[in-house]
Amino acid sequence: MGKIILENIKLFGFHGCIPEESFLGSYYTVNIEVELDFHKASISDDLSKTIDYVYLFRVVKEEMAINSKLLENLAYRIIKRIKKYRIDLIKKTKIKICKENPPMESSVDRFCIILDDIN
């Protein structure tokens, strides 16, 4: 068993419930963990036996381009697409999405949500 981890993907997006967020946007940081069995890939050196991390990045980038009111919805969509891609290999997924410098009345560095696996 092993994990593919993409750390600190930094993207700009327009997510949130506050009207200003839909036209001003914010920076986001995304971390993804995909747990799977590496055994066949490690022996064969064959990309088709594992998860392509370039594909994982592309999914995050494409889903970030679709506005959501809730980061929970964004995380759900990303995990759903990743699992659909290689349901035969994936044992568990986890995503953390952070909104950097959220528009709040006091100083907050970031607001984050974590979603573990979905069925």
Q: Looking at residue 52, which CATH number applies to its domain? A: 3.30.1130.10
Among 85, 66, 65, 118, residue whose Cα is nearest residue 4: 85
Identified catalytic residue from 69, 91, 96, 99: 99
What is the C-alpha to C-alpha distance for residues 1 and 103, in angstroms, rounded to an integer? 40
Domains in the chain, number:
1
The answer to whether the beta carbons of residues 36 and 56 sit under 8 Å apart is no
The answer to whether the beta carbons of residues 51 and 89 sit under 8 Å apart is yes
Note the pLDDT tens digit of each residue in 12-48.
999 988 888 888 889 999 999 999 998 999 999 999 9
The pLDDT > 70 percentage for the chain reads 97
Whether residue 99 lies in the annotated active site: yes
Note the pLDDT tens digit of each residue in 97-115.
999 987 777 788 889 999 9
Range of the domain at 64: 2-116
Token pair of 25 as six digits: 């946007």
